[in-house]
Copies of this chain bind each other. A is one copy, B any other.
Amino acid sequence: MSLMNHQFRLAARPIGLPKRSDWSLSEEPVPAPGEGEIVVQVHYISLDPAMRGWMNEGKSYIAPVGLGEVMRAGAAGQVVASRNPAFPVGSFVTGGFGVQEYAVSDGKGMLKVDPGLAPLPVYLGLLGMPGMTAYFGLLEIGRPRPGDTVVVSGAAGAVGTVVGQIAKLKGCTVIGIAGGRDKCDWIVKELGFDAAIDYKSEDVKKALRSRAPQGISIYFDNVGGDILDDALANLARGARVVICGAISQYNSTGAIKGPSNYLSLLVNRASMTGMVVFDYADRYAAAAREMAGWMAAGQLKARTEVVEGFDKFPETLLMLFRGENTGKLGLKVGGE
């Protein structure tokens, strides 16, 4: 009896928040690997805000997922069949395996990982795409200097937690913006942020003025919308704004909200720069080594929130847009 694979495929381009009917669940036998190929059993699927953008039609930094195609996703798993000597059976790997239980791959873009060094989901978070995004976005675009005031939105998320901790390592004062008291307490007490602002209960613009009276040197933006405007209203001279994402806008059914306070860039001789992590692919390995060192020294903490059950993918993805996860969100699909 052959192994069966289940897959979430994009059935319709969502309007607003993705609905269950925007997905189709398919079942098909897991193919045998061809020459040079391997079969991976997926253990964890990475859930990332960027996935929402991949579901839209039109040109972006990456081609959209086609209708009827398996949804694109990063994932971690174990090789269960191999005709590729670089990835023997039993190897643990990460790669763009998609939202499915088994993936066939020729090994391109795959990485071998060691679950003895860090739990598998950490390779999707701190040591994966979100961690790389934080590392290169902050260090290359933000260019932190000791004494800088760094503000990060989505501060309790997969990227924001890492941005704030690296900024602390670089000698900066770090303020995180997150939703709810629990997340705010956690980033200060557990991650060592200097301060937190709860956007659900505080006036962010006023809170930034009082907690960053000298102005913001680096604003790392994961959310867009009003919070981006509040940060722009509080820039220091020569500030760098890193545009990493805009989760508040991804499910907007109207026009994207542009930052009304963008002329603060002029007043403060500041810059706002977009980044896409893929541009740094040739430096991922070195960055992961440095971050693993920080983790080993207890200077960088990873947190993963895992939901179990392949069929829970559609609802679990929505947790990101409802701000329900703390740290990296993953879906447990198979394995131990």
Picked from B255, B260, B274, the residue with its CB within 8 Å of the CB of A268 is: B274
A246 contacts across to B, CB distance below 8 A: 263, 266
Is A295's CB within 8 Å of the partner chain B?
A: no
The CA of A244 and the CA of B255, in the complex, are separated in Å by 25
Beta-carbon contact of B274 and A273 below 8 Å: no
Beta-carbon contact of A261 and B258 below 8 Å: yes
The CA of A266 and the CA of B272, in the complex, are separated in Å by 10
Q: Which of A60, A245, A266, A273 has the most CB of B within 10 A?
A: A266
Picked from B258, B269, B273, the residue with its CB within 8 Å of the CB of A229 is: B258
- The verdict on A267 contacting B60 (CB below 8 Å), with A258-B261, A261-B258 known, is yes
Beta-carbon contact of B276 and A61 below 8 Å: no
Is A99's CB within 8 Å of the partner chain B?
A: no
A245-289: which residues lie under 8 A (CB-CB) from chain B?
245-246, 249, 255-276, 279
A224 contacts across to B, CB distance below 8 A: 263
A255 → chain B closest CB, angstroms: 5
A244 contacts across to B, CB distance below 8 A: 266
Closest-by-CB residue of B relative to A229 is B258
- The verdict on A274 contacting B270 (CB below 8 Å), with A229-B258, A258-B262 known, is yes
Is A167's CB within 8 Å of the partner chain B?
A: no
A256 contacts across to B, CB distance below 8 A: 260-263
Is A243's CB within 8 Å of the partner chain B?
A: yes
Beta-carbon contact of B269 and A272 below 8 Å: no
- The verdict on A269 contacting B274 (CB below 8 Å), with A258-B257, A258-B258 known, is yes
A243 contacts across to B, CB distance below 8 A: 262-263, 265-266
A265 contacts across to B, CB distance below 8 A: 243, 272-274
A138-157: which residues lie under 8 A (CB-CB) from chain B?
none
The CA of A259 and the CA of B241, in the complex, are separated in Å by 15
Closest-by-CB residue of B relative to A276 is B269
Beta-carbon contact of B260 and A266 below 8 Å: no
Beta-carbon contact of B266 and A274 below 8 Å: yes
A181 → chain B closest CB, angstroms: 30
A265 → chain B closest CB, angstroms: 4
The CA of A279 and the CA of B270, in the complex, are separated in Å by 13
Closest-by-CB residue of B relative to A266 is B274
A276 contacts across to B, CB distance below 8 A: 266-267, 269
A274 contacts across to B, CB distance below 8 A: 263-271
A240 → chain B closest CB, angstroms: 9
Closest-by-CB residue of B relative to A254 is B260
Question: In the complex, given contacts A265-B274, A269-B275, what are 8 additional A-B residue pairs having Cβ atoms less than 8 angstroms apart?
Answer: A61-B267, A249-B263, A256-B261, A256-B262, A257-B260, A258-B261, A264-B274, A267-B276
Chain A residues within CB distance 8 Å of chain B: 59-61, 224, 229, 243-246, 249, 255-276, 279
- What are 14 A-B interface contacts by the 8 Å CB criterion? A229-B258, A243-B265, A243-B266, A256-B261, A256-B263, A257-B260, A262-B262, A266-B275, A266-B276, A268-B274, A269-B273, A270-B273, A270-B274, A271-B273
